[in-house]
Structure 1
Amino acid sequence: MRLVFMGTPDFAVPSLRALVNGGHDVVGVFTQPDRPAGRGKNLKPSQVKVAAEELGIPVFQPKKIKTSEGIQLLRVLAPDSIIVVAYGQILSKDILQLPPKGCINVHASLLPAYRGAAPIHWAVMKGESHTGVTTMLMDEGLDTGDILLKQEVPISNEATTGEIHDELAALGGGLLIETLRELEMGSLIATPQIGESNYAPLLKREHEGVDWSRKATELHDQIRGLNPWPGAFSTFRGENLKIWRSMPFSWSDKDLETEGFAREVTAEPGQIIEMLGTGLLVQTGNGILRIIEVQPAGKRAMSARDFFNGRHGQIGEKFN
């Protein structure tokens, strides 16, 4: 099939490679313009651009795809279908109606759940037990188009957003190939989205701060949901601190050195109540959270125990 591909981050790369490996004719790749990155603010290409150039596919980087120039370029390329995977721009009605077989989106959730820009982060942060990938026939709404195919994956209570991201990216490539195969065979049936929907907005600074008055399980989901980017943060003695790994604490855990440690503890949310070989125990609004790995500002990630010892921390001090 003659295709145009639109995508930007690394999540989209497996889908692009799957199209090429599957024998499809990708006549052009559209991706976001190069952005300043790093301390030197040098322009950095998107991961999709890097992959497309490696594959020998022409790359186009319009600031806005909805202009008359962008639409004319797509008409010249004359794709049978446009494939969109985390492109980062909204397509106009003119573009959506341009390819005869429509515009197909690979979305990292089980639609209609978690429509929006950050579906993987929010699925993990909300403690979902499952997520997945959906291929969808795009319309003018935000991830509201008819569903083509879905594939589900479990989320363990230790999985991070980074781990689920990589799994879904690979899964998306395979599901996209199956979608196009059925589309060419004429066996694909698009079905309207039904059921409860919710929104997965872009992450803001307000989503990253750890509120120790919340439940331990909720904080654990937040911490792993923000790993590896942008990271949950708190402060200790006024020092900013990323928290990368945690686990709700249970007195029944067999690997803990709890002999002689009173199980009845009265402490305030954020207060450190004990240091174990496996991390710091911190009181929350409901339950105790074991903090395993942290990263001080400007430093490398380290075990919470090493951080605490390095600061000569005292039991009873608080995270804020």
Structure 2
Amino acid sequence: MTAPLRVIFAGTPEFAATALKALLDAGFSVPLVLTQPDRPAGRGMKLQASAVKELALQHGIAVAQPRSLRLDGKFPEDAAAARQALLDAQADVMVVAAYGLILPQWVLDLPPLGCLNIHASLLPRWRGAAPIHRAIEAGDAETGITIMQMDAGLDTGAMLMMAREPIEPSDNTSALHDRLAALGGQMIVAALKAPAASWVATPQPSEGVNYAHKIEKAEAQIDWAQPAGQIERRLRAFDPFPGGLTQLDGEAIKCWRGEVCAGVGEPGLVLRVDEQGVVVACGEQALRLTELQRAGAKRLPAQAFLQARAIPVGARFSA
């Protein structure tokens, strides 16, 4: 019986931790994990280890956290130490999932079987940092996971495996993320259990390429002149971050959920208020806001929100 592959794993958030757990549960040897340096987080801004680091430490796996992997870059000492750790690991392959650092060519060339990436898109539909968010925002009917043989480009490598996942009308990024993370874990295990000689790398099509730009906090601002359907998709795409932000009488209010409905009026005008929500006129149709949040407070269903903060018909939401 052939021994399981030795796998170096590079990843940072929960999406990546799900894949690492799947590899460990499947019996793969993981001698080394690469992950981003600890970052300040929370109200106290204390240094917080990544989800991948926490899982690796629980399993006694060596962890490297270089600030860069460029031997000629800003942190050459980090890159040199990481290079030695990678050499010492004597792994067959590297698996990368939402790592957050660019892999220079020397890293791509190091493992005998190369570097495989778990990408949350049906490539080349959404290359880049935020494929889950952008698929929901764009109104895509489906997305999926692509296992890709990495090259020096940004998500441009040849594809080894692909699986599709429907995007439900109620999906937000959090829900879709969790399904895709589980699917990615299943797929990378299947890929690595297959003999490497059986891997068939298919070049990505040159048509249909889109770039999934990183989500910026400024994108939270709601433009009520947009069609209601577009705003509704953005609310789901930006849940849990950064949400949808609007102003009412000088107060910032976060909008988390909405339903497209009939209504005509100046964009931002409150047309109706009832137990089901707050109906706001948009550039096309209207949006019934069903989950809202005041600054420093919890997210609340519209009915509970309105008990604490009245919103009268005729009020105007603004940017």
Provide TM-score, normalisation by structure 2.
Answer: 0.93
Q: Secondary structure at the match of 1:294?
A: strand
TM-superposition CA deviations, 1:271-313 (whole Å, max 9, x none):
1100122111110000111100011111111122433443333
Alignment: residue pair count:
305
- 2 CA distance for matches of 1:175 and 1:92? 25
Write out aligned runs for 1:243-254 (5 A).
243-250=255-262
Give the superposition deviation at 1:64.
1.4
Question: Structure 1 residue runs of 4+, over 6 Å off?
Answer: none
Q: Give the drift of 1:38.
A: 1.4
Gaps of 5+ in 2: 71-78
Contact preservation (8 Å) 2:32, 2:62:
yes
Select between 202-211 and 77-86 the one with higher mean Cα deviation.
202-211
| Matched AA of 2:105 | K
Determine helix, strand or coil for the equivalent of 1:11. Answer: helix
1:189 counterpart (180, 200, 207): 200
Identity score, percent: 41
Residues 76-110 of structure 1, C-alpha deviations (whole Å, 9 max, x = no match): 21211011000000000011001110000000111
Q: Could you list the per-position Cα deviations for residues 195-237 of structure 1 after superposition, in whole angstroms to 9, with x for gaps in the alignment?
A: 3110001111332111000000000000010011221111111
2:140 is the alignment partner of 1:128: yes
- Whole-angstrom distance in 1 between the partners of 2:302 and 2:120: 32
1:75 is displaced (CA, Å) by 1.4
Cα pair 2:118 2:188 within 8 Å, conserved: yes
Residue aligning to 2:268: 270
**Residue aligning to 1:284:** 282
Aligned to 1:64: 68
Query: Structure 1 stretches of 5 or more lacking a match?
Result: 251-264
Residues 10 and 77 of structure 1: is their aligned pair in 2 closer, same or farther, counting only changes over 3 Å?
same
The answer on 1:240 being equivalent to 2:252 is yes
Q: CA deviation at 1:244?
A: 0.8
Alpha carbons 2:264, 2:286 under 8 Å: kept: no
Residue 294 of structure 1 aligns with which residue? 292
Q: CA–CA distance in 2 between the matches of 1:228 and 1:73?
A: 35
Asked whether the equivalents of residues 127 and 157 of structure 1 are also in contact (C-alpha less than 8 Å), the reply is: no
Q: For residues 175 and 80 of structure 2, what CA distance do their matches in structure 1 show?
A: 40
Q: Which residue of 1 aligns with 2:238?
A: 226
Match of 1:178 among 190, 198, 201: 190
Do the aligned partners of 1:275 and 1:305 also contact (CA within 8 Å) in 2?
A: no
C-alpha contact 2:119 2:148 (8 A) present in aligned 1: yes
Q: Which residue of 1 aligns with 2:100?
A: 88
Distance (whole Å) between structure 1 residues aligned to residue 258 and residue 264 of structure 2: 21
Deviation track 1:240-265 (CA, whole Å, cap 9, x = no partner) reads: 11111111115xxxxxxxxxxxxxx6
Q: Distance in 2 between matches of 1:185 and 1:43?
A: 39
TM-score (norm 1): 0.92
Q: Distance in 1 between matches of 2:84 and 2:123?
A: 32
**Who is 2:176 aligned against?**
164
